[in-house]
Amino acid sequence: MDAIRIYGGKRLSGQTTIQGSKNASLPILAATLLISGTCEIENCPDISDVYHMQRLLTSLGCKVEREGALVRVNTESLSECDMPSDSVGVMRSSIMLLGALLARTGYVCMENPGGCVIGARPIDLHLRMLRKMGVVIEETGTGFCAEAARLKGTVLQMPFVSVGVTENLILAAVLAQGETVIEPAAREPEIQALCEFLTGAGARIEGSGTDRLVIHGVEKLNPVRYRIPADRIVAGTYLCACMCTGGRVFLRDAPVHHMESVLETAALMGAAIEYDPEGIMVTGREHESTCHSITTGCYPAFPTDMQSPFMVVMAMSGHDGRIEETVFENRFRIVPELRKMGAGITVQGSTAYIDGNSRLHGAIVQAEELRGGAALVVAALAAEGTCIVTNRHYIDRGYEDIVLSLRDLGADIELA
């Protein structure tokens, strides 16, 4: 049952609670390796990527327990051993373990990480920056081994902004000798969450939320309890579903202060958004769209992870539009599948041109990556007839139970 069947055409209504952030929980789970003792992570999403990270931590000798949304990680028995290749191979965030393990044990051997096929996302920059911190790295055909007696702080001038590299260098630097400067550092909320977690454990980090991080290495970190913030991409996905169906939905715990560009774009595209201390109320198709162009970028610009769901919204907006993708070169893999459903979309280089008067209909479509898969579900909710979205496992990487959440909002949806 690796598929989802959706009977389209129903308006969504009601409320759903937004889960903890996937993109914050993974590096924070990796960060527990830096701390001898037990850390408690609250609001940790029950998704397959987190499951794989838990497996990786267990394979390293950690004791990992889950009680509902609380995950406890005890690293006192951390040992050097092989990580399961099936978990490393399907999850790019496993690269986060590199900086943390080098800081804690001084030695790492691992296969090249996997993940969604949305772009090259090479690990070369991770390795190049770590070499500047004194790491000796030997690359093989399928992976690499890295070693350092103790990491040394230095100035790390990045050739471009990278969320993953910024996170990895933070993990490497907090226990390094001396001062480390990272610039330009990524500013995403998930990086701010990682810095909050580490600061709570005793790390000395300056500049969180800016493009220049200064990290003063400390001798040790202490166990900490931390609550993962809500997932801004999941909230945005359900916002798009509401817009496409013309529904009215309350998104409880939606992280409004992390969603400014998304909410501004949604309002320009016709949604009415009411703010509440506990979340946001979204009413779709309240007025005519005045947004005809979206360009993705690094935070606080419009997030690349929201590009696919908004492509669906734009196809039903009543006005032609364009989306320029500046982050990942393969983010348009969803386009052939949307065409099967009747969407008029053409791609030229890094820009997609969308017919805003598309009429979507039922079809069998295939998810090829996480966010595109969720966007196909959004499209199916608004389509006429029945859609089947295959390769559900991609969607499960980031959504706790998208079927149950949408069913609670009135969608006619089931596992297939």
- Burial of residue 114, with CB atoms counted within 10 A of its CB: 0-12 exposed, 13-18 middle, 19 or more buried: middle
CB 125 within 8 A of CB 162: yes
- Where does 298-344 have alpha helices with state H? 307-315, 335-340
Please, are residues 290 and 356 in contact by the beta-carbon 8 Å criterion?
no
Q: Residue 348 pairs with which residues in a beta bridge?
A: 351
Query: One of 44, 62, 116, 291 is an active-site residue; which one?
Result: 116
308-183-351 Cα angle (round to 5): 25
Q: 116 catalytic, yes or no?
A: yes
Where b means 16+ CB within 10 Å and e means fewer, 289-315 reads bebeebebebbeebbbbbbbbbbbbbb
CA 40 remoteness from chain centre: 21
Selection from 291, 290, 319, 325 nearest residue 307 by Cα: 325
Longest dimension (CA), the chain: 62
What is the residue whose two structure tokens read 């990290």?
A: 215
Q: How far apart are CA 184 and CA 297, in angstroms?
A: 14
> What DSSP line would sit under 292-310, residue for residue?
-EEEB-STTSB-GGGHHHH
The residues carrying an active-site annotation are: 116
